[in-house]
């Protein structure tokens, strides 16, 4: 679990910090964060100033109205609140210590601008956050120098509460929330847009990874974007075209050379056999050795010709093949060397070319006989809708990390070279490719001793 979490963290780290898509998103979000922060801070300052100015104007108008009413001798109606006046109004003593009169919302509260009054200020116009009211307010006050019902020098003070966004944390937190939402939208839009722009590249990559090295006729998708991605697709297809042509030339050369070599080798083989029949005792060992070399050369040519046919995917006629019968015939052809036993379930029928199936059986049995100590076991059985052929020897086996390597062309393990220096390393690759052509697999399974080759082919529908 810990390893899986670590792998996920590493995956997303690479996606965000290493991939082009991730880096572009991170850089875009970083620049957007810087730009939006500046814009939002400036906007916050402008909004704050506008709201404060609006409330300051309201407080000033209220104070001026009340002062004017007092000067006209209408003190009894001066503190009456109008519908458009939402603030607090106080008439404060000249020394700022007592509230002489107040509007209903301000009654019972201490003086709002006591410090300014004690200093003898004639005018108060500032933002304040007294403890007697929630939040902050804009305070505007005028000193009435002439006589008033409360005596000379009183201060008319009006306080308009500022909107909650203008308190210490409200507006900054609101702007941070807006900034995070905007950055999330920028990140999503950038990631989504770049992902859509790179979608054709991902498709080209997937199609390239799915290409079969033995069938280069496939081509990748070419988006009609009239840009670099379209040029990339066209270049890849052009490269595949040239690679296909080069591979076709190589296959034709191998096929033609194999065909041309078979007749001289067959003639050489026949002449060596005739010479061996007439040879004396001194030359006979040399002729036998030359005959074995000719046979090996002929086997190499046959293998190369078969590989050329497999690579070209040349169509071969298929028919129902009884896998058990084919295995029995191949076992009966074996000599008196290693003991070969068979456990064959009848009626295991597949659709394939009988010559190629016989080739697979021959290659697997020959390989098993080369590596077996004393015996080889061949098994044919059904497994659901699959025909299973198993060839097991009692040799030293193949290490798990080497099991795929034996299916590489011309690859030979050290033990194989020691037991059969004349081998070509083509038998097992040919057997696997034939199995794959008919929709099957050829693998090496675990076994207590020796190597266990297992071929699986789809059963023929309705027994053939």
Please enumerate in sequence order all residues whose Cβ is within 8 A of that of 282, keeping only pairs 6 or more positions apart, or say none. Answer: none
Query: How far is 232 from 238, CA to CA, in rounded Å?
Result: 10
CATH 3.40.190.80 for the 319-463 domain, yes or no: no
CA 140 vs CA 60, 114, 115, 123: distances in Å? 6, 12, 13, 7
Query: How far is 127 from 48, CA to CA, in rounded Å?
Result: 12
CATH 3.30.565.10 domain position(s) in the chain: 319-463
Structure token digits, residue 131: 């403890």
Q: DSSP of 333-396, one letter per residue?
A: T--SSSEEEEEE-TT-EEEE-HHHHHHHHHHHHHHHHHH-SSEEEEEEEEETTEEEEEEEE-S-
Q: How confident is the prediction along the chain (464 residues), in pLDDT tens digits per residue? A: 444 677 676 666 666 666 777 888 888 888 988 988 888 888 778 877 888 888 888 888 888 888 888 887 776 656 666 666 667 888 888 887 888 888 878 888 888 877 776 677 788 888 888 877 887 888 898 888 777 788 888 888 888 888 765 555 566 777 788 888 988 998 888 888 888 877 787 888 887 777 765 566 777 778 777 777 788 888 888 888 888 777 777 767 766 676 677 778 778 778 877 887 777 777 778 877 887 777 777 777 777 777 777 766 667 788 899 999 999 998 888 767 778 888 888 888 999 988 889 888 988 888 888 888 888 899 999 888 899 999 998 888 888 888 888 888 777 676 666 666 556 677 888 888 888 888 899 999 888 888 899 999 999 887 55
Structure token digits, residue 77: 């109606």
Please enumerate in sequence order all residues whose Cβ is within 8 A of that of 87, keeping only pairs 6 or more positions apart, or say none. Answer: 58, 59, 62, 137, 158, 159, 160, 161
pLDDT of residue 458: 92
Structure token digits, residue 37: 């922060």
The label of the residue with tokens 């400036």 reads: 42
pLDDT of residue 1: 44
pLDDT of residue 277: 77
Please enumerate in sequence order all residues whose Cβ is within 8 A of that of 431, keeping only pairs 6 or more positions apart, or say none. Answer: 359, 360, 363, 364, 442, 455
Query: How far is 100 from 66, CA to CA, in rounded Å?
Result: 14
Nearest in space to 440 (alpha carbons), one of 428, 455, 460: 455
CATH 1.10.287.130 domain position(s) in the chain: 228-311
pLDDT of residue 142: 86
Are 323 and 438 spatial neighbours (Cβ–Cβ below 8 Å)? no
Fold of 1-210: Beta-Lactamase (3.30.450)
Q: Which residues are bridge partners to 88 per DSSP?
A: 159
Binning the chain into helix, strand and coil, the percentages to the nearest 5 are 55, 15, 30
CATH 3.30.450.20 domain position(s) in the chain: 1-210
Q: DSSP of 388-414, one letter per residue?
A: EEEEEE-S----GGGTTGGGSTT---H
* Residue 435 CB neighbours (<10 A): 21
Fold of 228-311: Helix Hairpins (1.10.287)
How many residues belong to the chain?
Answer: 464
């Amino acid at each position: 679990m810990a390893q899986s979490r670590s792998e996920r963290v590493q995956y997303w780290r690479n996606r965000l910090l290493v991939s082009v898509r991730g880096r572009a998103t991170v850089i875009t979000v970083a620049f957007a964060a810087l730009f939006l922060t500046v814009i939002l801070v400036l906007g916050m300052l402008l909004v704050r100033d506008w709201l404060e100015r609006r409330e300051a104007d309201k407080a000033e108008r209220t104070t001026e109205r009340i002062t004017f009413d007092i000067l006209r001798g209408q003190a009894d109606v001066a503190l009456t609140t109008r519908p458009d006046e939402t603030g607090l109004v106080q008439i404060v003593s000249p020394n700022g210590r007592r509230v002489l009169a107040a509007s209903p919302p301000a009654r019972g509260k201490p003086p709002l601008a006591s410090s300014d009054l004690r200093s003898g200020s004639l005018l108060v116009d500032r933002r304040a956050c007294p403890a007697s009211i929630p939040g902050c307010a804009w305070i505007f006050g005028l000193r009435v120098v002439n006589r008033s019902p409360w005596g000379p020098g009183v201060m008319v003070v009006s306080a308009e509460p500022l909107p909650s966004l203008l308190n210490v944390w409200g507006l900054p937190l609101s702007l941070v929330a807006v900034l995070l939402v905007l950055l999330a939208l920028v990140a999503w839009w950038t990631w989504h847009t770049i992902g859509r722009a790179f979608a054709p590249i991902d498709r080209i990559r997937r199609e390239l990874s799915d290409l079969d090295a033995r069938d280069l006729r496939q081509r990748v998708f070419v988006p009609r974007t009239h840009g670099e991605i379209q040029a990339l697709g066209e270049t890849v297809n052009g490269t595949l075209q040239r690679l296909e042509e080069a591979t076709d030339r190589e296959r034709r050369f191998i096929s033609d050379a194999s065909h041309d070599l078979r007749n001289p080798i067959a003639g050489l083989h026949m002449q060596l056999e005739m010479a061996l029949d007439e040879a004396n005792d001194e030359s006979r060992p040399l002729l036998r050795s030359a005959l074995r070399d000719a046979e090996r050369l002929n086997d190499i040519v046959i293998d190369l010709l078969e590989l050329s046919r497999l690579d070209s995917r040349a169509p071969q006629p298929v028919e129902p093949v009884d896998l058990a019968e084919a295995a029995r015939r191949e076992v009966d052809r074996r000599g008196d060397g290693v003991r070969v036993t068979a456990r064959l379930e009848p009626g295991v029928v597949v659709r394939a070319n009988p010559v190629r199936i016989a080739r697979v059986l021959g290659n697997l049995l020959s390989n098993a006989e080369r590596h077996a100590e004393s015996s080889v076991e061949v098994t044919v059985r059904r497994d659901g809708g699959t025909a299973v052929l198993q060839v097991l020897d009692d040799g030293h086996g193949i290490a798990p990390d080497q099991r795929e390597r034996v299916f590489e062309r011309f690859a030979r393990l050290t033990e194989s070279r020691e037991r059969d220096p004349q081998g070509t390393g083509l038998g097992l690759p040919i057997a696997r490719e034939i199995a794959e052509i008919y929709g099957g697999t050829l693998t090496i399974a675990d076994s207590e001793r020796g190597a266990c080759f297992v071929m699986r082919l789809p059963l023929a529908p309705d027994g053939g």
